[in-house]
A and B are shown apart, each in its own frame.
Chain A
Amino acid sequence: MSEHAGPLAHHFEDIEQQKDAAALGMWAFLATEVLFFGGALTAYSIYRGLYTKGFAVGSSFQIVPLGAINTAVLLTSSLTMALAVHAAAVGNRAALVRNLALTLLLGAAFLGIKVYEYHHDYVEGLVPGAWFHPTEEVRDRIRPFEQQHGTVDFRQVELYFIFYFVLTGLHALHMIIGMGVLTIQLVLVRRGWFGPEYPTPIELTGLYWHFVDIVWIFLFPLLYLLRHAGGGH
């Protein structure tokens, strides 16, 4: 097998070995990504433990229905991505193009909702730093919470929003990169690349996209749903 024919690179024994090696490389990259997000999540867990009240109040300022809808949007994009990988492997080009395009569209929908949420936080004065001036209306909203749990230190709430913007911002950056890769592959597929003999590039994009989905699966409850400061005070 000295000829360089088809997608098999000369330094691999056969196409199966090449596919496994490519997937393994992607998994190794994703392992570094786990620790990249993991560092930020470890810091988040420490501060949520130290400043439970401020973080509970910060979470209560999120719009839960929008977060839940965005979770469903991202899960649906993972489904279409899995269907795209399947279509590439069985050589169904029409289904491949359709599912890649749907994945892109759902990714864009997710980012659109995220932009709306960021704007909403900006209007309420919840963007940390020089912009952090929570409006009176926002402060009034937590009066019942304060009656039960005592006064809330808004510096803790600001720290929650630092974590919120860093974590969701890094997640959104990963999605933008993924959407760039998907766009390139959509163009290449239309030019006849990635047939059933070597669908691996689509499979690897799928691994990345699903990983970004998993990050959101943890971010959604951690940032939107933990509104409770515990019993009594």
Chain B
Amino acid sequence: MPGPLERSGQHVPADTPGEQGPVSPDRAEEHPAAAVYGANVTTYYAVFGALIALTGLTVGASYLSFGDAPAIVHTLIAMAIAGVKAGLVLLFFMHLWHSPRLTWLVAFGALLWLAIMMVLTWSDYWSRNWIRP
């Protein structure tokens, strides 16, 4: 009987390579570079190249001067680049792109709770001096 974790059609569109799952041992020997977990070796090297390039970009951006702009401009640029890098690792190295939707739910649930913790803490400190007794 289909369990809650079964792959029967409710996760990824059927035309994505991930739906086929890991290749069988026989097929693997015929095609050593075949896609498993929806990714092949070429994907990994491309993602790695992008990660190294983005590391160079974030180091380079830290040497830029924005004149009188507040320090948070540098923080936002650095965090945006780090977010893209983390996304690449999540989607391709950690195979989230081709994972069941339940895995997406857990991954984004964690980010939602993190956002609640950070945003409510920041809003507290930000608004603390608004009302003086």
Which A residues contact B (CB, under 8 angstroms)?
A: 13, 16-17, 20-21, 23-24, 27-28, 30-32, 34-35, 38-39, 41-42, 45-46, 48-50, 52, 56, 64, 68, 71-72, 75-76, 78-79, 81-83, 85-86, 89-92, 195-197, 199, 203, 206-207, 210-211, 213-214, 217-218, 220-222, 225-232
How far apart are the CA atoms of A24 and B6 in the complex, in Å? 12
Taking a contact as CB atoms under 8 Å apart, the answer to whether B32 and A90 are in contact is yes
Find A197's partner among B6, B25, B110 (CB 8 Å cutoff).
Answer: B25
Of all chain B residues, the one with the shortest Cβ separation from A41 is: B118
Residues of B within 8 A of A52 (CB): 71
How far apart are the CA atoms of A85 and B48 in the complex, in Å? 15
Taking a contact as CB atoms under 8 Å apart, the answer to whether A68 and B89 are in contact is no
Over the window 72-92 of chain B, the binary record of Cβ atoms lying under 8 Å from chain A Cβ atoms (1 yes, 0 no) is: 101100110110011001101
How far apart are the CA atoms of A210 and B6 in the complex, in Å? 25
Of all chain A residues, the one with the shortest Cβ separation from B64 is: A228
Of all chain A residues, the one with the shortest Cβ separation from B8 is: A16
How far apart are the CA atoms of A197 and B21 in the complex, in Å? 12
Residues of A within 8 A of B41 (CB): 83, 86
Nearest chain B CB to A28's CB is how many angstroms away?
A: 6
Known contacts A45-B122, A46-B121, A226-B74, then 11 further A-B pairs from the complex at CB < 8 Å, ordered by chain A residue: A31-B107, A31-B110, A45-B118, A64-B59, A72-B52, A72-B55, A81-B93, A89-B22, A91-B29, A218-B86, A221-B78
Find A24's partner among B39, B67, B106 (CB 8 Å cutoff).
Answer: B106
Find B114's partner among A38, A213, A227, A231 (CB 8 Å cutoff).
Answer: A38
Taking a contact as CB atoms under 8 Å apart, the answer to whether B118 and A221 are in contact is no
Taking a contact as CB atoms under 8 Å apart, the answer to whether B34 and A222 are in contact is no
Taking a contact as CB atoms under 8 Å apart, the answer to whether B78 and A225 are in contact is yes
Taking a contact as CB atoms under 8 Å apart, the answer to whether B36 and A91 are in contact is no
Q: Is B23 an interface residue (CB 8 A)?
A: yes
Which B residues contact A (CB, under 8 angstroms)?
A: 1, 3, 5-7, 21-25, 28-29, 32, 34, 36-37, 39-41, 44-45, 48, 51-52, 55-56, 58-59, 61-62, 65-72, 74-75, 78-79, 81-82, 85-86, 89-90, 92-95, 99-100, 102-103, 106-107, 109-111, 113-114, 117-118, 121-122, 125
Residues of A within 8 A of B29 (CB): 90-91
Find B67's partner among A17, A46, A64, A231 (CB 8 Å cutoff).
Answer: A231
Taking a contact as CB atoms under 8 Å apart, the answer to whether B48 and A76 are in contact is yes
Q: Which of B21, B45, B86 is packed against the most chain A CB atoms within 10 Å?
A: B86
Of all chain A residues, the one with the shortest Cβ separation from B72 is: A230
Of all chain A residues, the one with the shortest Cβ separation from B75 is: A226
Find A27's partner among B52, B69, B81, B107 (CB 8 Å cutoff).
Answer: B107
Find A227's partner among B48, B62, B95 (CB 8 Å cutoff).
Answer: B62
Offer 30 A-B interface pairs, CB within 8 angstroms, sorted by A.
Answer: A20-B100, A21-B5, A24-B103, A27-B103, A27-B107, A30-B110, A31-B113, A34-B110, A35-B113, A38-B117, A46-B121, A52-B71, A76-B48, A78-B51, A82-B92, A86-B36, A86-B37, A86-B41, A89-B22, A89-B37, A90-B34, A91-B25, A91-B28, A199-B22, A206-B94, A213-B89, A217-B86, A226-B75, A230-B69, A230-B72
Taking a contact as CB atoms under 8 Å apart, the answer to whether B55 and A71 are in contact is yes
Taking a contact as CB atoms under 8 Å apart, the answer to whether B28 and A82 are in contact is no
How far apart are the CA atoms of A31 and B3 in the complex, in Å? 23
Of all chain B residues, the one with the shortest Cβ separation from A203 is: B37
Residues of B within 8 A of A199 (CB): 22
Residues of A within 8 A of B118 (CB): 38, 41-42, 45
